[in-house]
Structure 1
Amino acid sequence: MSKIDAYLHAATRANTRQSYQAAVRHFEVEWGGFLPATADSIARYLADHADTLATNTLKQRLAALAQWHIDQGFPDPTKAPVVKKVFRGIRAVHPAQEKQAKPLQLDDLERIANWLDGAIRTARLAGSRGTELRHRRDKAILLLGFWRGFRGDELIRLQADHVNAVPGEGMTCYFPQTKGDRRYAGTTFKAPALARLCPVEAVVDWMQAARITTGPLFRAIDRWGHVGDAALHPDSLVPLLRAVLANAGITSAELYSAHSLRRGFANWATSNGWDIKTLMQYIGWKNVQTAVRYVDSADPFAKHRIVQTTSASLPLPRE
């Protein structure tokens, strides 16, 4: 690989490359399409999968196919009028309702942390190093993910080298690139040390117990208590979190995901007086629309607003 190829490769995030490769493989191998593709073949591909794939998935497939043609120096067939019209028709016939993860409430977070503390003590007394380490890691993931509002992929990508924790004060987490950082300027996030449910204490305890000083912060652990060298696989994070929630007695654990930590913090912050601008700066959101999607209204059905309005406007009953 030449230096130019290496830099071109580095300009695209790893998970984006993987998803694009999977999309191109699905078109070419599983569906039987030919590359370079024609606009008609792209339109047929969309129509054949309109009943089985979400519109967001189809949109991602189009982006991947467009990028393949651009990279190979071919005209982009996804911009043809027939493709755009077919996609509009699919969205009209198959409207998609956005699904959101259930936000994790603060009292549930405390309940889970207390359960993990008990499980850590039990595992230590039983001499089960692997179980103890898993519980310490899971506690660090939950508390850091909640109080920093990190996405799942950010937790997975976080490197121990880029974590600077000062017990009793706070912690900084540096990312060479985040989702909104198109200039690769790097972003540093700060997390406070808290009197209870402290993310700093949980992360420090995990790093010391696992003897991690460099490389991925959150890793897999085998049954013998050996900590792996690689980061947790992205697909393992949601099952891990749901298992912890279920074991801690949280009902409907299957409704939660890694985004539940982010949504839970956003709702906690707004209910405690944070304005949207402050929340956006803390989380790292670039636009208001993104922030609003994560925040549940205190009056989701507008009941209180309607009751107050009607009470003031309706005439008093006659005696």
Structure 2
Amino acid sequence: MAAEDETLTPSHSGRFPAADNDKDHAKDDGIALPAHVAGSGTLDRLVDTARDYARAAASENTLKAYARDWAHFSRWCRLKGTEPLPPAPQMIGLYLADMAAPRTKIAPLSASTIERRLSGLGWNYAQRGFTLDRKDRHIATVLAGIKRKHARPPVQKEAILREDILAMVATLPFDLRGLRDRAILLLGYAGGLRRSEIVSLDMHKDDTPDSGGWIQIMEQGALLTLNAKTGWREVEIGRGSSDRTCPVHALEQWLHFARIDFGPVFTRTARDGTRALEARLSDKHIARLIKRCVLAAGIRADLPEKDRLTLFSGHSLRAGLASSAEVDERHVQKHLGHASVEMTRRYQRRRDRFRVNLTKAAGL
């Protein structure tokens, strides 16, 4: 039986799409023997091992983004009659300016996207044995001018609040696929999890090479051990007040009927929805699931459908927990794995901003 359709959305929105024969990133990873050392079977195997560890230093999505950044810049250079190596601060400054104010009908990129692409170039140059001096005046002053002229406050995704998540899960059927998607939404919401953290979960430690963590189901709830962006952390998800809204119960239902006791927790299902497959879900499925349920539940029905789809994303689950949990901020900060309470507050879409009134405390 064919698997359910998991149509992928285009991953590259840059000006010059990467050509199939552009393998610079794959060929030149910067890990090799010194020129004066003769190769041998043992050393060659160690080089391969070191390359594997180097690739593991950043997430797969980050490496893909860096590769796209390099491909975009390389094509830009060739169109201008130059080469990307060695780094030329003057040309990089012009590249930044072209992205901010292109002389074509292509829309300019945001200041944050331009800065991210510059970071990608710095990483790529480092892998090729070069140093990109971002403080060089040709780069620093152009970037500072772009940020001063074009920078805008970050656009935050709408939080999915308690009443929203309940309405969303109510739209799901009780077939196998519905059980899976219900567990994804409730677990992601109660855990304040990222999309990548949800789909990378395994049943046990070391079940699969690409695991990003594992779960332990206990009497009082579920303990998630995650290898997240900020390092390893544990997330405790307690049982809810009723089976209808309990994320742990939803998870148990999915695991039982899908007959999953090893490997990825959230997998694809057969097209007819009668059985779970072995293939791990893509994190893109969660983004599509959230948007689909937002529309089905009629959330923010006062807005056109296009605007509603733009407002919500995977991060809406994390923002929803941070905004809805009426506990001390320190508990939310630990739960989300934030290094500072300031980062946690960015996720809180509704809170008592003037609970502490320093104006009155200062005697005014």
| TM, length-normalised to structure 2 | 0.72
CA RMSD between the two structures: 2.5
Q: Which residue of 2 aligns with 1:150?
A: 193
Match of 2:95 among 37, 45, 51: 45
2 CA distance for matches of 1:160 and 1:55?
A: 41
2 CA distance for matches of 1:76 and 1:17?
A: 18
| TM, length-normalised to structure 1 | 0.81
Q: Answer yes or no: is 1:29 the counterpart of 2:29.
A: no
- Alpha-carbon contact 1:156-1:233 (below 8 Å) kept: yes
Q: Answer yes or no: is 1:15 the counterpart of 2:56.
A: no
Q: Which residue of 2 aligns with 1:218?
A: 266
SS at structure 2 position matched to 1:102: coil
Unpaired segments ≥5 residues, structure 2: 1-46, 102-107, 205-213, 302-307
2 CA distance for matches of 1:31 and 1:237?
A: 37
Superposed CA offset, 1:211-255 (max 9, x none): 222332223334223534333223332122110222233235412
Tell me the CA shift for residue 113 of structure 1.
Answer: 2.5
Q: Which residue of 1 aligns with 2:238?
A: 192
Q: Counterpart amino acid of 1:279? A: V
Superposed CA offset, 1:47-70 (max 9, x none): 111142122221221111111111
- State how many pairs are aligned: 285
Superposed CA offset, 1:239-296 (max 9, x none): 2211022223323541211111111111111xx2x12212112221111221110113
Report 1:42-121 matches (<5 A).
Answer: 42-51=92-101, 52-116=108-172, 119-120=173-174
Tell me the CA shift for residue 297 of structure 1.
Answer: 4.1
Superposed CA offset, 1:16-51 (max 9, x none): 111111111111136636222311111111111114
Q: Answer yes or no: is 1:287 the counterpart of 2:340.
A: yes
Q: 1:187 to 1:299 in 2, by over 3 A?
A: closer
- Alpha-carbon contact 1:38-1:77 (below 8 Å) kept: no
SS at structure 1 position matched to 2:84: coil
- Alpha-carbon contact 2:169-2:293 (below 8 Å) kept: no
Q: 1:191 to 1:4 in 2, by over 3 A?
A: same
Tell me the CA shift for residue 154 of structure 1.
Answer: 1.3
SS at structure 2 position matched to 1:171: strand
Match of 1:5 among 45, 51, 55: 51
2 CA distance for matches of 1:30 and 1:139?
A: 45
Match of 2:229 among 179, 182, 205: 179
Superposed CA offset, 1:91-136 (max 9, x none): 11112221111111111222223332xx21xxxxxxxxxxx22211
Match of 2:220 among 163, 166, 169: 169
Match of 1:296 among 335, 349, 355: 349
2 CA distance for matches of 1:2 and 1:280?
A: 39
2 CA distance for matches of 1:249 and 1:42?
A: 46
Tell me the CA shift for residue 159 of structure 1.
Answer: 2.0
SS at structure 1 position matched to 2:171: helix
Q: 1:60 to 1:174 in 2, by over 3 A?
A: same
Q: Which residue of 2 aligns with 1:125?
A: none
Q: Answer yes or no: is 1:160 the counterpart of 2:203.
A: yes
- Alpha-carbon contact 2:191-2:237 (below 8 Å) kept: yes
SS at structure 1 position matched to 2:236: strand
Q: Whose helix proportion is higher, 1 or 2?
A: 1
Q: Which residue of 1 aligns with 2:282?
A: 233
2 CA distance for matches of 1:243 and 1:30?
A: 37
Q: Which residue of 2 aligns with 1:135?
A: 178
- Alpha-carbon contact 2:323-2:351 (below 8 Å) kept: no
Q: 1:220 to 1:282 in 2, by over 3 A?
A: same
Q: Counterpart amino acid of 1:40? A: Q
Unpaired segments ≥5 residues, structure 1: 121-131, 314-319
- Alpha-carbon contact 2:112-2:151 (below 8 Å) kept: no
1 CA distance for matches of 2:131 and 2:352?
A: 50
SS at structure 1 position matched to 2:134: helix
Q: 1:260 to 1:43 in 2, by over 3 A?
A: same
Q: 1:31 to 1:146 in 2, by over 3 A?
A: farther
2 CA distance for matches of 1:299 and 1:192?
A: 26
1 CA distance for matches of 2:188 and 2:248?
A: 11
1 CA distance for matches of 2:282 and 2:346?
A: 27
2 CA distance for matches of 1:218 and 1:87?
A: 42
